[in-house]
Amino acid sequence: MNRRDFLQASAAGLALTNVHATFGAADTPKRVGLIGCGWYGKADLLRLIQVAPVEVVSLCDVDKKMLAGAAEIVASRQKSKKTPETFADYREMLKKNEHDIVLIATPDHWHALPMIAACEAGADIYVQKPISVDVTEGQAMLAAARKHKRVVQVGTQRRSTPHLIEARDRIVKEGKLGKIGLVDIYCYYHMRNRSNPPDTNPPEYLDWEMWTGPAPLLPYNPIAHPRGWRAFMEYGNGIVGDMCIHMLDMVRWMLELGWPKSVASSGGILVDKAAKANISDTQTATFDFPEFPVVWEHRTYGAPADPKYPWGATIYGDKGTLKLSVMGYDYIPMGGGQPVHVDVKYEFDEYPEDKTEKDLETHVAPAIRGHMKDLLANIASRGKPVADIEQGYISTTSCILANLSMKLGRSLTWDATGQRVAGDDEANRLLTRPYRNPWQHPGV
């Protein structure tokens, strides 16, 4: 074992020791509920079960098939082997059972209301990214967390990815990049839905009215559920809200950046105009931080600029360049120094169930576990986790501003003190989206 592997193993062991010291066998297991039992909800919850002796007491989803499948796998994985109680309405779940921790992994348009309700119910929270679809929702979520003194971790788990932590400590913090002048972040996955199926009746096991919630009530389309809802701006913020936020948040954490001074974006549906999806297939955005610009680009067609980095970040300094992705990192020094290449580390020996779990992104599982350990440690200390709700709010809002800039056709200057767009009434009106009755916007 080399020094780096020893340090990583020691840090991981210390984290687990701290978690189990807090949630030891003599203690009552923390009671956990999950709202949103789809792909990533299960991935998050099952990683939490792996790292702490919790008891999952509640599951909530508007899809009966999804809910039953989640109940089955949770009962097989948790130590008690008990089947959690299931609910179709998060309000009934929070009213019926007491929870120490609530996980929220719904579609984005359903993040704000359950998160605030969980704060009011006295739970600590893990909420998926982006935290909100509009800026005012995010402000209300941050205010609720602080008012009720809740520990809230946002699912921007790049902050807990082992090889990215190493890159920050080994390359960035040791000054090997020198003076940084530019950061590129990007995604070239062909991930935009290109089909155009007709609208139809929702399946009998899905409550489409409740699934829609505060969003506009559109006819059911099979693209939207399950997992395809990001194709529509009614439910999220497109590829910027899905993929840019991860890389922007990672760079902000790694380079200690706060708010951008301004955000400018352009693009649209420039190539794939026939598909039913209404999110952009091409978009660039410049987040102008006081330190240097961070520039995003996505294309859902063509080849990536670097085939080894189809989704990632490149940090340019006068002493070297650092490329980062979920699969590893590369440091390329200027002047003929020694390059560094590190691949993602899987944890199959420690967690063999990762190999067979349906749809699990195995390369991301260690990061989710790290994120859960950090949440648990901060629940014990009542501190702020690495992806605290305020950090999630900054990264989410920055991405929303990029979409608003593209829509309005102009750069937006952000007033970080007033939490508004400076001198732009039209843009400020778009910080709050309308809610469909009877749902009430938490920021209005």
pLDDT tens for the chain, residues 1 to 444: 343 443 444 444 444 444 444 444 447 899 999 999 999 999 999 999 999 999 999 999 999 999 999 999 999 999 999 999 999 999 999 999 999 999 999 999 999 999 999 999 999 999 999 999 999 999 999 999 999 999 999 999 999 999 999 999 999 999 999 999 999 999 999 999 999 999 999 999 999 999 999 999 999 999 999 999 999 999 999 999 999 999 999 999 999 999 999 999 999 999 999 999 999 999 999 999 999 999 999 999 999 999 999 999 999 999 999 999 999 999 999 988 999 999 999 999 999 999 999 999 999 999 999 999 999 999 999 999 999 999 999 999 999 999 999 999 999 999 999 999 999 999 999 999 999 999 999 999
Rounded Cα distance between 433 and 2, Å, is 53
Rounded Cα distance between 296 and 302, Å, is 17
- Domains of the chain as residue ranges with CATH: 3-157 (3.40.50.720), 159-346+388-429 (3.30.360.10)
Q: Is this structure's pTM higher than 0.75? A: yes
Nearest CA to 127 among 158, 97, 162, 151? 151
Q: For position 295, what pLDDT does the model report? A: 99
The per-residue pLDDT for range 41-90, each reduced to its tens digit, is 999 999 999 999 999 999 999 999 999 999 999 999 999 999 999 999 99
- Which residues have CB under 8 Å from 195's CB, separation 6+? 223, 275, 276
Nearest CA to 121 among 142, 140, 147, 95? 95
